[in-house]
Structure 1
Amino acid sequence: MDPEKRVATTCTQLLHYLDVFNVPVFNVPVFFSAVYRLELEKTVRSRQAENGNSIIKFLKSSLLSNGMFNGGYSRSVYTIYVDGFPFRRDLLTPWMIATLVDFYINVIAVAAWISYKESNFLTATIWILLLICFGSITTCVYIFIQFLKLSPKESLQDPVYRVLLRHESKGVEQKMKQSAVMSARIAFSVLGFLMLGTLIYTLLTDGSPFRKELLTPWVVATLIDFYINVVALSVWVAYKESSLISGFLWILLLICFGSMTTCAYVVKQLVQLTSQDPVYLILFNRGNRAENRYERT
């Protein structure tokens, strides 16, 4: 029933009780105004819940379809059919090697999150091995499973934060034995400069990458795999950035420069932490940190 019709029906019934119990006339407008406001708020909350559930269902279906179809079996089967198996030396052209380096640096970033997310070392190791072997299909399936684990309430209350969060984490109760902020800064700085050096070397020795002959079936397959992981990282960047413009610029840089941007962004987030802070804080935006008492006071 529409909120207006529901309010009209409710008010008609209550008017009878007002008459029966002889409620003063000057209280009637205030009373009906309050009833109308409450009914509208109830309807808005109901529709927000429906919209939230629709968004979560869309994210789940999109992740599964992208991971299983575009990033998975169909691409691999088609590429194997038209170009054979990928384990051949002739495929390792300079730009293919550069693309693989770019791809696996982003895989390291995703693997770092999985290692934090999984409390069981064996489970984390298995997922990381699958990520190394199957790339973006593992990324999509893993995130899809994390969405499935959310309760209806969590799905409506900042689902990206809930997906990023470790399962047993509860605000300030989560503890880490030793901070590794400085080590993480050094590691991702080295990875960023490794990619920069690889890019410069490949440009000097093999020329521009914008050549048609470079687009072999396995290079195209690797690029698809790479950019599906970029989509996942872009969602995280959009969640982190409070400004729409800065979020857009970072995502644009991520699309253009790949893992160099990933490393630069991660190092930027790490620089904002103190040496006493746990590394996992870079996963969350400032709003979630403050709300869950992650920020140091």
Structure 2
Amino acid sequence: MSLANVLKTLFFMLCCLMIVTLGYTISIAGLPFRKDLLTPWMVATLVDYYINVVPLAAWVSYRESSWISGIIWIILLVCLGSITTCAYIFIQFFKLSPEESLQEPMYHVLLWNAINNSMEHKRKNSPVVAAKILFGSLGLVMLGTLVYTILTYGSPFRTELFTPWMSATLIDFYINVVALSVWVAYKESSWFSAFLWVILLICFGSIGTCVYIVQQLWCLHSEDPVYLILLNTRNRAENWYDRTLC
């Protein structure tokens, strides 16, 4: 089975898992729109969750050729979480031609019209510095939220905190982490470094995500198009980008 088919199957199954989780949680715990559910650790988890949504939303915004469709997908990401993430990724893999599915499927899924527009985009400045500031700031926000919540409300590893909606939120969160981990695995040149970064994402959530993105952005020059962060070094060099980056 090709990598494209493996990933299509993976994200289809994860989408189904989250739909079942959502339906089951609503059936036993009611709707989530209640003030009593917003405990301090639930709030911290939601901050963590939505910071991880930011890079996914940025990718969707770049990937969509129409700003209207981009806004619709981002709203769905915010409202439906990893269900939208998995559905969107599944659709992008489904759109691949047989040749693209067999040859660098991640490259074709990550980039929008890359071959036709790469030379044009290379000449344009892009907000690499702004992206560093954005994700660096988001990482600090999450670090501050985590430290404050621990100091004020104690450890998160307590049985009473794992309410049905907290459990559902964590499943939702880690399905998005799977999507980000697939990208990290594609980006990294060795399985060992990919494994270490994925462990960081799992253990530190959006802090790990922001650290990884900032680290990758430091490999770009300020005049580079920011979407180059999506590609691994080999794809940049072999397909159209002529400067070797880290």
User: Could you state the TM-score of these two structures normalised by the residue count of structure 2?
Assistant: 0.95
The counterpart of 1:256, out of the listed 203, 206, 215, is 203
Cα distance between partner residues in 1 of 2:229 and 2:4: 24
Instruction: Give the match for residue 37 of structure 2.
Output: 91
Cα distance between partner residues in 2 of 1:225 and 1:179: 32
Instruction: Give the match for residue 25 of structure 2.
Output: 79
Instruction: Give the match for residue 95 of structure 2.
Output: 149
Superposed displacement of residue 167, structure 1: 3.1
Letter in 1 for 2:226: V
The counterpart of 1:213, out of the listed 127, 138, 160, is 160
Instruction: Give the match for residue 203 of structure 1.
Output: 150
Instruction: Give the match for residue 58 of structure 2.
Output: 112
Cα distance between partner residues in 2 of 1:66 and 1:243: 26
Tell me if the contact between 2:53 and 2:77 (Cα under 8 Å) persists in the aligned partners: yes
Cα distance between partner residues in 2 of 1:79 and 1:124: 29
User: Could you state the TM-score of these two structures normalised by the residue count of structure 1?
Assistant: 0.79
Poorly superposed stretches of 4+, deviation over 6 Å: none
1:233 aligns with 2:180: yes
Higher RCO, 1 vs 2 (CA within 8 Å, ≥6 residues apart): 2
Q: Secondary structure at the match of 1:262?
A: helix
Letter in 2 for 1:222: T
Cα distance between partner residues in 1 of 2:31 and 2:230: 37
Tell me if the contact between 1:172 and 1:292 (Cα under 8 Å) persists in the aligned partners: no
Cα distance between partner residues in 1 of 2:11 and 2:116: 27
Superposed displacement of residue 65, structure 1: 2.1
Q: Deviations over 1:85-124 (max 9, x none)?
A: 1011110001100100000001001001111111210010
1:188 aligns with 2:135: yes
Report the number of matched residues: 243
Cα distance between partner residues in 1 of 2:5 and 2:120: 30
Structure 2 stretches of 5 or more lacking a match? none
Superposed displacement of residue 166, structure 1: 0.7
Counting only pairs closer than 5 Å after superposition, residues 4-23 of structure 1 correspond to structure 2 as: none
Instruction: Give the match for residue 236 of structure 2.
Output: 289
Indicate the structure (1 or 2) with the bigger Cα radius of gyration.
1
Instruction: Give the match for residue 274 of structure 1.
Output: 221
Instruction: Give the match for residue 37 of structure 1.
Output: none
| Most deviating of 134-143 and 173-182 | 173-182
Aligned CA RMSD, in angstroms, stands at 1.4
The counterpart of 2:48, out of the listed 102, 109, 115, is 102
1:62 aligns with 2:10: yes
Letter in 2 for 1:213: E
Superposed displacement of residue 168, structure 1: 5.5
The counterpart of 1:175, out of the listed 114, 118, 121, is 121
Residue 58 to residue 244, structure 1, CA distance change in 2 (3 Å): closer
Residue 202 to residue 295, structure 1, CA distance change in 2 (3 Å): farther
